[in-house]
A and B are shown apart, each in its own frame.
Chain A
Amino acid sequence: MRTASRLLLAVGVLLALPASAHAKTTCMLSRVSGVFETVRAFVQQQIAPGPQRPKPQAVEPAPAGGPSVDLGDLSKPEVVERQLRTAVPTPRSDLKLTVPNGQARLGDFTIGSAETMTGHLLVLGGDANVYGKLLGNLVTMDGNVVMHPGGVVSGDILALHGDVRDQGGEIGGEVRTLSAVTKPPIAPDTASTRSAVMAVGRNVAGVVGVFFTLLALGVGLVTFARPSLDVVSDTASHSFGRSFITGLIGQILVLPTFGMLVVGLVLSVAGILLLPFAVVVFVLLLILGVVRHRLGQQLSVSAHRTGGGVHAVGCLGHFRLGTRGRRDGAGGSGTGDLAGGHSGFRRGAAESGGSPRQLRRSTDPARGSDRRIPLGHAAVRRPSRAAP
């Protein structure tokens, strides 16, 4: 029995040993792998070419009339950046640039701890390391500013597309950094495609919704407000200049009128209650006005083109009436009333400057008297009266 238990123990130890050894080996391997990764990254960092930095050198002042950048006021960094972009499209070795009351440098630049520089300093395409004193403003473009302990800049610092690292220096003025534009992160392809499709779908739905809303407004206008629509149509066709000027003034006055309405209601205190309703009504009236104007224009134009609405489209009532007249004409045996209605259309076209063909066709003996009828009435009203 004792032998059997010893055997079992021995088997257990034998089974446990490889597992433990395996665990240790795995742990060691992962450590070694980590060390290798670190070394590889370090070597890669050393070997891989960094961003192209120009060779450190002074930039000569430009001749009179040449590029110049004033670093006296850095409160508007985007303006300074624009000036620099114009004056220095890309840092070049043969660059010439004037900095009033200062100097420009290309590449990395260091102010030593024993140095004191007077005037503004511009460093292009490199870092500015400040150990000493700079009595003026400091600007870097595509480079960083490093303020080391004991370093002093009496004026402002601006780092364009760079950073300012304050490691214990003294900065008398304001420090600003303006980085490059960042685009929003790009989502994975599928997600972006899906979101684009959804966005397009949403916008299409919006446009369709607006279309149907306007359509409903148009139908309502034609159905319930045809007389006033006729007036709009007549005015647009007969007095184009007047309606144009009136519309222009109306558009200019829309916002002031709205403002006055709101201010007036607010000032009256009690009218504040009406403010939300007034805003909604104003917007609806505006939409109504635009739709009526468009419909009136459409009526006028279609009447001009087709001769009083026989082929008018875009206006349901007009289309219906025109169809009736047309059916009668096509049959050639319509009643006198309907024929009168038909000729009414023709007369409208002739009086409003219809085509010679329409004029010829309108020499129908059954068209009755030759009195002048306003276009809108001729095109829309007369047939409806003539029809039974």
Chain B
Amino acid sequence: MPGFLVDFSNELANAVERAGASVISVPEGGREGVSGTIWREGVAITAEHTIHGLDEVTVVLPSGETTTAPVAGRDYGTDIAVLKVSGAAAGTILTDEAQTRVGEIVLSVGRRREEGLAATYGMISAIGGPWRTEAGARIDRWLRLDLNPFPGFSGGPVVNARGEVIGMATSGPRRSAATIPASTVNRVVDQLLQRGHIARGYFGIGVQPVAFPEGAARSLGLETERGILVVMVEPGGPAANAGVLLGDIVVRIDGSAVRGAHSLQPALDSDKIGHSAVVDLVRGGKLVQLNMVVGERPQK
């Protein structure tokens, strides 16, 4: 029986070692250094929030070598920054995170400049569908971890017991460990390498949530009593071009009821740019329908 436990123990250590071959240290990240993951040949990722305002960072490679890596792109929404790391070999094995199961053993692997490779273990505690970060970015899958996040783990990989990468670790709300799944990372890395940022949709309006009196909502045939009042229309913006006026109350976008400003997010995904959105709004007590071509949010 003890032999069984020794095998299990060795498997875990092997998984850490295997994953460790693609884990780098980013000593300037965060307050006391964070981790990064070599994602493809010459390309690594780290947690964007930890390297705010830096155009290039020092990285420590798995070999122990130190090199400088320019930041090739960053996305605040998914918390992914892409680093160009010359000499970073691609050995990372990605898993299809759609195959992961609740209860599966996972390891969070990180690296620190002085101390080297570090890991904590736990399991997948819940799996859910797509979700949006506070910044509005779409994440393909919700992977909740029962795992102790350790200092500097952000940017490192979350791997399974075979050492295959499920996603990038970052801090979630209330000191939890959040995972950006591999498929989302792939999508974001592709875009960041192409254009340096993630294109986001844009209406050019300022809004505020409002409530209709119950009777008014019913007589207009609305699903909810809520809407969003347009308090600003940017001249020449997509909404202005579509004929949206100050004081309009948006009640539906592409047929789905608006319950607050967050309801606009699905219409603002980057794949919607250039496409037409159907907007239902209340103007002067009557329902009006407009077609609005989604623009691209200007870069700051």
Partners in one complex: no
B residues sitting closer than 8 Å to A (CB atoms) are none
